[in-house]
Structure 1
């Protein structure tokens, strides 16, 4: 089963895995993502992950709910990112995705809200 927490772990916390390799493992070549209503393509997503990886010292992902049915995937998680400067940012994220036949994410829509620490 596709898992957004596994994808985020590979993208942000697995330093010996290149971002492009993590993308290939978890996302289709024509992947699209909407975050809070703004759509981006895979190339833009890759750039964002490269930048974010440079900021991140540690990441903690807690899956609260997860459901997969056929090609549909839904998940809710809390992510806490500790920056290299020691700052901590937390968000609750709601994910609705389409999974391709090969098990990778083809498109994803997410809504997020900041958490007060």
Structure 2
């Protein structure tokens, strides 16, 4: 789980590879993310990732806890983004999810909060 938390944001947010290819590597076709009560399907997630590539110059993830129990996962971590126009955005994330049989994420529910810089 820690590897996913550190690799996926880097590959999706800063990589040269097509964001859809990156998304599909880590998530099932029916992947659903509920972030702070807002449901994001595959297309809405891609719509979020593409502009983020233009705004961020660096991403770092600090994993506090990551647990896997069968097909259930949970994590507490911080995503730190260095912005092109200056400044840093730090977000604390509490994530709970379900894995598919092939190890990719099928569903995630998460709550976030911004950490003042």
- TM-score (norm. length: structure 2): 0.92
**1:12 is the counterpart of 2:8:** no
Structure 2 gaps, min length 5 = none
CA RMSD in angstroms comes to 1.3
- TM-score (norm. length: structure 1): 0.92
SS of 1:6 mapped into structure 2: helix
* Residues 46-84 of structure 1: per-residue CA shift (max 9 Å, x gap): 110111111110011100000001110101111110111
1:37 equivalent in structure 2: 37
Count, aligned residues: 116
1:1-117 matches, within 5 Å, as 3-13=4-14, 15-117=15-117
Structure 1 gaps, min length 5 = none
Q: Is the 8 A contact 2:97 2:105 kept in 1?
A: yes
